[in-house]
Every structure is written in C-alpha cells, then in structure tokens.
Amino acid sequence: MPSIKKIKGFADLFPEDAAVFTRMENTAREIFSRYGFGELRTPILEKTELFIKSIGEDTDVVGKEMFTFPDRKGRSMTMRPEATAGVVRAFVESGRYQPGKVLKYFTTGPMFRYERPQKGRQRQFHQLNAEIFGAPEPQADAELILMLKSFLNELGLTKLTFELNSLGCHDCRPAYRQALIDFYQSKGRDGFCEDCQRRMDTNPLRVLDCKSASCKELVQGAPEITDHLCGECSDHFAQVKDILGTAGVEYVLNPRLVRGLDYYIRTAFEVTSNDIGSQTAVAGGGRYDGLPKSLGGPDCASTGFACGMERLAMLLGAKDGDAPDFYIAVIDDRAANDAMLFAQKLREKGQRGEVSYAGGSMKSRMRAANKTGASKCFILGEAEFAEGTVTVKDMAGDDEQYTVSREEYLKKV
C-alpha cells in the first residue's frame, strides 16, 4: 500500500482515460476554429478578488467552494473555480478591446472547487470554454449554441436536450426580482432552506435553482421572467429562438433556468443528458454583458459557454488509443539494438509502434504483439540478425508473413 495517496476529489488519468480528454480537446480545436475562435491560455491561480467581483460574493462558489489561501506576502489567492472570470480579466488587462471589433476565444484546462466528490464531479475538474466579446447581437448567442451543438455532435453525442431561457437585463430584472420576493413571502420564508432564505435578500433568482425538494415544491407557480422582459430583451430572445429553430436545433424553454453565477443577463442555456445520473448538465452558458466593466474594463457585450469534460467523458466512455502500426518482437538478444534502430527509422517515417527491449520466446513475444493491437509484427531472431532482414507478420489480415531486407522494407514505407 503506497504511503502517499492522491488527494480526495482529484483523479489520475491513465492513457485510456486521457485519450478521451485529448479527443475532446482536439475536436474542440477543430470545430471552434471553423467559427473564428482562437485559443487563449490563462493562469490557474488568480487573485481572490477577481472571483468575488465577477461570480458574486453571495454565490455558493465563492462562499463555500473555492480553494483560497494566502501567499507568502499575505495576499489572498484562489485556484480558479471557473474559466470565464479569468478570460475576462485577461481581455480587460490586455487592452485588446476596440469598439466595433469582435474577439473570440476558447480555453481548456483544470478548474477547482471544494465540494463533495461524486460521479462526474471532482474537486479538480476540466472545462472547455468559448467566449465572444464585442457582439451584443442575438446572432452571437445563437452562433455559440450552434457551435456547441456541432462540437457535441462531432463527438457522437446526439441524445442531449438544449434548455433555453432569458434572464432579462438590468432594466427589466428589478421588477421581476420584486415579483419573486412577493411570491416567496406569500409562501412563508421559514419554509425555504437556509441557503434560499439568504438568497431571497441577495439574489432571489437563485432560489429557483435550488435542488432541495421542499424549495422546488414551494417555487411551483412562481412568476416567470419571460413575462417580465422589456421590449429589447423580448426581441433579443425571439431572434435567438428564431435562428435556432430555423437551423433545426430542438430546444426546450425552461423558465427556471437561471444558471449558478451572478453575472448572467438575457440569454441563458444548458445542455443536459439523462444518461449520467442526477448531475444532468454537461454544458451551459449565456450572456454576461456587464462583467468586463465590473472588472475595470470597457462596457463590452460578452457571451460564452462552458462544457464539463468529466461529464462528457462519462457519456463518451473510456476509449483505448488508436492501435499502433507495428510491434517489433526481439527473439535473439543480439538483435535488440538492431530492433531499436529499425523502430527509430519507422517512427521517423511517421509510423507508431513499440519494440521489445530484449530477446524472448516466440510465444511470449507474439502474445505481447497481440495485446498491443498492432497491424504488423516485425520479428528479429537469430537468422534476421545475421542476414540484416526482418520477418513481417500481418496481424490485421490472414497472418501471412514474409522475410525481407530491413533496408528494402524501409524504402517502401
């Protein structure tokens, strides 16, 4: 038993698991680039103030879930619990904003939240994010959702539900906020959980997102925000829905969808699956126009989404990497060096494969070759070592084999 074990809520990803994450990242790079997104890499560690100002001091993320600690100079630092705040900080700090110019970035990497580990939710988890700056139009919201759908479909994920809502803006939300407060008071404050009683004073919309069964029952019949949208927000939402509908995206209107972070306005969306247990959301996002300004930047339109990679991996399942092209079976110890050099020549020509480091029995070496799934096995025994040849065995076909000069074989690769 090892004396030092991994920290609870942190996972080791061996090749078969890591391959799924690599596939998601590579697919994202391919799909997102078609839409004009470039990759941005931001630090894992940020000043705690960033998340308090962006996510909201009264959110569960800031209040309960962040990995926060003082550095050696006593400054409060936090391991990023989500990506958007850091992306906006980088955008503001870089001074890249220009009126009329649209900037698109995507990010990928680990995030950290101190919460109870469970299936599909670790304390270190991974996200794929995409953000658009400088585009207030509803077309930007719709494009994000279309890109997200293309990405998920490219991964082979089609049994998903897209949920859509509008959270209004700073002009129309106050009236809705008061309507919610009046509704909650009519139900009796004491019937709600402790967190929701606090949320009633800080962000009444968050009560609609509570997972407590008693709170879910109490909010049945609560006013819906889509009935309180101003003209501009109503038109914005109508255009998003029209584009998605015309593009063939099936979606469900969910007036209870408020997202968990305070910075969202107008369009909000989630992608859910019923195939991964109770944690159904695999992606989500929306518009957060006021966030850059709140962090000292321009009053810039902004919208984006995040995908939870662990939850997507649950849907995709572990997958072994692609089978190698070759395995070199060394039968005679004297051929070990020749085998290594032959393997190097094959790799320089773009082939992928393994080589046994020392001689062994034909039976054991062929067993090893079969385990790799290689399409060809190269055998180097006493005769091959003496004559500068290699015996080539077709592992993917009818096991046909032949012997050829190593030099001649390399010419044909």
15, two tokens: 């090749």
Q: Note the pLDDT of residue 318.
A: 61
Residue-level pLDDT at 320: 54
Q: Is the model's pLDDT at 353 over the cut of 90?
A: yes
From 91, 7, 100, 115, select the one nearest 42 (Cα to Cα): 91
Q: What is the pLDDT of residue 127?
A: 95
Quick check: 257 pLDDT over 90?
Answer: no
The percent of residues above 90 in pLDDT, for the chain, comes to 61
Task: Say what the pLDDT of residue 250 is.
Answer: 93
**HEC readout, the chain:** CCCCCCCCCCCCCCHHHHHHHHHHHHHHHHHHHHCCCEECCCCCEEEHHHHHHHCCCCCHHHHHHCEEEECCCCCEEEECCCCHHHHHHHHHHHCCCCCCCCEEEEEEEEEECCCCCECCECCEEEEEEEEEECCCCHHHHHHHHHHHHHHHHHCCCCCCEEEEEECCCCCCHHHHHHHHHHHHHHHCHHHCCHHHHHHHHHCHHHHHHCCCHHHHHHCCCCCCHHHCCCHHHHHHHHHHHHHHHHCCCCEEECCCCCCCCCCCEEEEEEEECCCCCCCCEEEEEEECCCHHHHCCCCCCCEEEEEEEHHHHHHHHCCCCCCCCCEEEEECCHHHHHHHHHHHHHHHHCCCCEEECCCCCCHHHHHHHHHHHCCCEEEEECHHHHHHCEEEEEECCCCCCEEEEEHHHHHHHC
Per residue in 199-246, pLDDT (tens digit) is 777 777 778 777 777 788 877 878 888 888 899 999 999 999 999 999
Q: Give the mean pLDDT of 98-127.
A: 91
Closest among 145, 57, 95, 41 to 292, alpha carbons compared:
95
Q: What pLDDT shows up at residue 129?
A: 96
Q: 323 vs 57, which has greater pLDDT?
A: 323
In 3D space, the residue among 364, 304, 371 whose CA is nearest the CA of residue 106 turns out to be 304
User: pLDDT by residue (tens digit) across 15-46?
Assistant: 888 999 999 999 999 999 999 999 999 999 99
Residue 70 has pLDDT above 60, yes or no: yes
Across the chain, mean pLDDT equals: 89
What's the confidence (pLDDT) of residue 276? 66
Enter the pTM of the model.
0.84
The architecture in CATH of the region 326-412 reads 3-Layer(aba) Sandwich (3.40)
Which of 47-61, 149-163, 230-244, 292-306 is the least confident region?
47-61
Domain edges within the chain? 15-172+229-316, 326-412
Give CA–CA dist 82/193, Å, rounded. 26
Hey, what are 83's tokens? 């990506």
CATH superfamily of 15-172+229-316: Bira Bifunctional Protein; Domain 2 (3.30.930.10)
**Per-residue pLDDT reduced to its tens digit, 150-162:** 999 999 998 899 9
**Alpha-carbon distance 319 to 23, whole Å?**
10
Q: Which residue has the tokens 């894992």?
A: 44
The answer to whether residues 322 and 375 touch, using CB atoms and an 8 Å cutoff, is no
Q: For residues 381 and 408, give the distance between their C-alpha atoms in angstroms, rounded to a whole number.
A: 18
At 1 the pLDDT is 62
For residue 398, is pLDDT > 90? no
Using the predicted structure, report yes or no on whether residue 262 has a pLDDT greater than 80: no
> What pLDDT does 378 receive?
95
- Rounded CA-CA distance 344/355 in Å is 10
Confidence of residue 279 (pLDDT cuts 50, 70, 90): low
Rounded mean pLDDT, 357-381: 91
**Per-residue pLDDT tens over the stretch 127-171:** 999 999 999 999 999 999 999 999 999 999 988 999 999 988 888
Range scoring the smallest mean pLDDT among 32-36, 50-54, 191-195, 236-240: 191-195
Q: What length is written for the chain?
A: 413
- Mean pLDDT check: name the lowest of 16-30, 45-59, 197-211, 338-352: 197-211
